[in-house]
Amino acid sequence: MTPKRILVADDDPFILDLYRTALEGHQYEIESVTDGQEAFLAATSKPFDLVIMDIIMPNMNGIDSIRAIRKKHPQLPIIISSSFHDQFSEALTELKVQCILVKPVMITQLVRSVRDVIQASEKKP
C-alpha cells in the first residue's frame, strides 16, 4: 500500500518537526512548508491526501491559502491546526475544513484526526 501524502504548513519549525516525526512514525509521507503561499503552490502542483494548515503564517495566511487551494482542489481534506481558530470560525465554516485542532495539539489527537479524516475521504465517491 502506498503511504498517504500529507502537506503540513506551519511557520513554527518545532511544530513542523513534531508533526513530521509523529506522522512518519505512522507511515505517512510528510512534506512541510513554512507559509501559506508555499502551501498553495505545493498543494496545487503535487498530489496530497491531506493538508494540515496553520492560520497565522507569513506571505499568505492559512485562510487565504485554503481559499486558493479549494479553487483547484475542492475535495482535498484539510485540517486546521491553530491557536487562533476562534477568530476565524466563520471563514473556516465557509471553507469546509474537515477538522480543527487547537494548539497545543496532543500527538495522539493529531494522529487520530489524520487517520479519521483520511479514512472518511476514502469513503466518499
Predicted TM-score of the model (pTM):
0.94
- The full set of domain ranges for the chain reads 5-123
| Residue 120 CB coordination number (10 Å) | 12
Segment 53-111, tens digit of pLDDT:
999 999 999 999 999 999 999 999 999 998 876 666 676 678 888 888 989 999 999 99
CATH classification of 5-123, choosing from 3.30.465.10, 3.40.30.10, 3.40.50.2300, 3.60.15.10? 3.40.50.2300
- Per DSSP, 74 falls in state T
Helix (H) or strand (E) holding 52: strand 50-53
Segment 13-24, tens digit of pLDDT:
999 999 999 999
Is the Cβ–Cβ distance between 96 and 75 less than 8 Å? no
What is the rounded average pLDDT of the residues 106-118? 97
